[in-house]
Amino acid sequence: MRRLRLVACVAGIAVTAALASACGGGQTAKAADPPSLVQYNSNGLSFRHPAAWKEYPFVWAGELHFQPIVYLSTQPVHDPCSTHGNETTCGLPIGHLQPGGVLVVWQNPYVLPGTTLGSAGSPMRVGGRPARRTTSSGGVCRSVGADRTIDVLIKSSPAPNQIEATACLRGPNLAQNERRLNALLASTRFQAS
């Protein structure tokens, strides 16, 4: 009788293991599906980005010493500029980056004549153009609670023009969002004006 119980118990464990394995219990978790991508194409600039990174074109009636092109963000943005009297100041278009949040600012920065890309950061190419990339845990994005600032300065023409992409990333999912930013940069193209 004891032997019969032991055999029944072992058989029950084997059946349970077989059923669990057939239901996927023995498989590793499936990797997250890649995000759906959308195409941005405006102002002589095009790239693919995750659909969750919403586009917010910059609209400003005044004159600035730099020209934002577009913001991409996982959360709504606000006007980054304010005017008091005859003084206009601009910052980032969000007050605080939410957990897992992303903000990417594409702009034509103010560049003094004779300015080059310099030697800071790692050399790379974006849209076939020379560029320099710096990554830090500080930077301008720290002011909105980001854990990482990635700044890519891209040579444009005519000299000394440049295009800048600044990404603010907040954890969790820093590595995943940095890979998505890398894919965006790899897909970037510039149209002749």
140-173 tens-digit pLDDT: 999 999 999 999 999 887 655 788 999 999 999 9
Shared domain check, 40 and 23: no
**Mean pLDDT, range 68-91, rounded to an integer:** 86
> What CA–CA distance (Å, rounded) separates 67 from 59?
10
**What's the N-to-C CA distance of the chain in angstroms?**
89
Phi, psi at 136, each rounded to 5°:
-150, 165
**DSSP state for residue 170 in the 8-state scheme:** -
How many domains are there within the chain?
Answer: 2
Shared domain check, 104 and 15: no
Full-model pTM: 0.76
Which pLDDT value is given to residue 185? Answer: 97
Shared domain check, 82 and 58: yes
Shared domain check, 168 and 150: yes
Which pLDDT value is given to residue 125? Answer: 96
Cβ within 8 Å of residue 86, ≥6 positions away: none
Share of the chain above pLDDT 70, in %: 72
Shared domain check, 91 and 75: yes
Share of the chain above pLDDT 90, in %: 48
Angular region, 80: left φ>0, alpha ψ -120 to 50, beta rest: alpha
Shared domain check, 156 and 66: yes
Shared domain check, 152 and 93: yes
CATH number assigned to the domain comprising residue 137: 2.60.120
Which pLDDT value is given to residue 7? Answer: 37
Shared domain check, 39 and 21: no
- As given in the structure block, the two tokens for residue 2 are 């004891």
Shared domain check, 121 and 51: yes
Task: Dump pLDDT digits (tens) for 29-51.
Answer: 445 567 799 999 988 899 999 99
Shared domain check, 153 and 61: yes
Shared domain check, 95 and 13: no
Q: What is the extent of the structural domain holding 12?
A: 1-30
Shared domain check, 85 and 19: no
Higher pLDDT, 109 or 26: 109
SS3 73: strand
Contact between 163 and 154 under an 8 Å Cβ cutoff? The reply is yes
Task: Dump pLDDT digits (tens) for 96-125.
Answer: 999 999 999 998 876 655 666 567 789 999
